[in-house]
């Protein structure tokens, strides 16, 4: 689900951004493209800046301090480009760093993502929900609080599954490989076998292997299994906040996407072409944003 808070005075000074300013979106790699595609569908006129911090991926294997430093560094870079809002299209970064981000830039509209436990709790019939996420997301205090609150309120049993290596497979573009299918089966099969009738995709990389997830679930049960992807909800929350702040871009022209990466520009260009059917030239950040200075 989207996780947001409107800006307030204080903290680092930011020059006011107008409606024509771009929206910044970032992830540790290409996973955030699953959120970007929903934003482009719902808000086609918005100018979008996307940063893939692939040179420091995967975030799921980094310490919380490292993720916080990277998040602040990327935010500082995007603010230098004049953004009016920031979408943290990464569950791990949201869990670890969204509080620090808002403390640093309290006047910035920030939209984070977190696993969709609430809609899953409303949807499940068996009262058993599987949550697929990175180890860091599942170990975070933010997730623990969300999990505890919704489990207590709903009586739903959440089965938590850390999917080590799965985001890496998506980053490699191995969306349908035998190795990826084996990983997915290893993580999904036991959840469904324990009665989960709803699976939460708790990492923005995972929607790109949703077909494999659905196939793995079908092999484990002949009952229907629902999949929760929060990308659309994030886009709708961004739209609501931009409208609330009178910051939606008014134009007859479609907004452009500009992309940056701290990793391979050709890899990100291929991801845009293969996953979003968008062809563009990615700008390499030869000197990545300075995480030590931002921290």
Active site residues: 90, 203
Phi, psi of 139 (to 5 degrees): -90, -5
Whose tokens are 């019939």? That residue is 125
**Pairwise CA distance, residues 26 & 88, whole Å:** 6
**Pairwise CA distance, residues 277 & 2, whole Å:** 25
Mapping DSSP onto H, E and C, the string for the chain reads: CEEEECCCCCCCCCCCCCCCCCEEEEECCCCCHHHHHHHHHHCCCCCEEEEECHHHCCHHHCCHHHHHHHHHHHHHHHHHCCCCEEEECCHHHHHHHHHHHHHHCCCCEEEEECCCHHHHHHHCCCCEEEEEECHHHHHCHHHHHHHHHHHHHHCCEEEEEECCCHHHHHHCCCCCCHHHHHHHHHHHHHHHHCCCCEEEECCCCHHHHHHHHHHHHHHHCCCCCEEECCHHHHHHHHHHHHHHCCCCCCCCCCCCEEEEECCCHHHHHHHHHHHHCCCCCCEECCCCCCHHHHC
Q: Give the residues across from 27 on adjacent strands.
A: 52
Give the end-to-end CA distance of the chain in Å, rounded to a whole number.
Answer: 27
Specify whether the CB–CB gap between 90 and 28 falls below 8 A.
yes
């Amino acid at each position: 689900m989207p996780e947001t808070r409107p800006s307030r005075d204080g903290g680092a000074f930011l020059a006011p951004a107008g409606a024509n300013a771009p929206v910044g979106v970032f992830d540790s790699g290409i996973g955030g493209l699953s959120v970007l595609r929903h934003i482009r569908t719902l808000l086609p006129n918005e100018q979008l800046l996307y940063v893939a911090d692939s040179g420091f991926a995967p975030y799921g294997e980094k310490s919380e301090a490292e993720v916080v430093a990277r998040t602040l560094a990327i935010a500082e870079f995007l603010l230098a480009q004049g953004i009016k809002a920031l979408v943290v299209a990464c569950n791990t970064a949201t869990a670890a760093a969204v509080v620090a981000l808002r403390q640093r830039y309290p006047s910035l509209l920030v939209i984070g993502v977190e696993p969709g436990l609430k809609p899953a709790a409303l949807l499940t019939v068996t009262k058993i929900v599987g949550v697929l996420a990175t180890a860091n997301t599942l170990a975070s205090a933010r997730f623990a609080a969300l999990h505890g609150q919704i489990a207590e309120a709903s009586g739903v049993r959440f089965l938590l599954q850390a999917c080590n290596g799965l985001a890496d497979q998506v980053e490699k573009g191995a969306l349908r490989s035998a190795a990826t299918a084996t990983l997915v089966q290893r993580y999904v099969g036991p959840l469904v076998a324990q009665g989960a009738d709803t699976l939460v995709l708790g990492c923005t990389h995972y929607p790109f292997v949703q077909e494999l997830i659905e196939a793995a679930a079908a092999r484990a049960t002949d009952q229907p299994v629902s999949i929760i992807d929060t990308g659309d909800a994030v886009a709708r929350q961004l739209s609501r906040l931009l409208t609330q702040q009178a910051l939606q871009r008014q134009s007859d022209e479609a907004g452009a996407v500009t992309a940056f990466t701290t990793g391979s520009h050709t890899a990100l260009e291929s991801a845009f072409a293969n996953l979003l059917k968008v062809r563009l030239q990615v700008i390499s950040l030869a000197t990545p944003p300075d995480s030590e200075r931002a921290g």
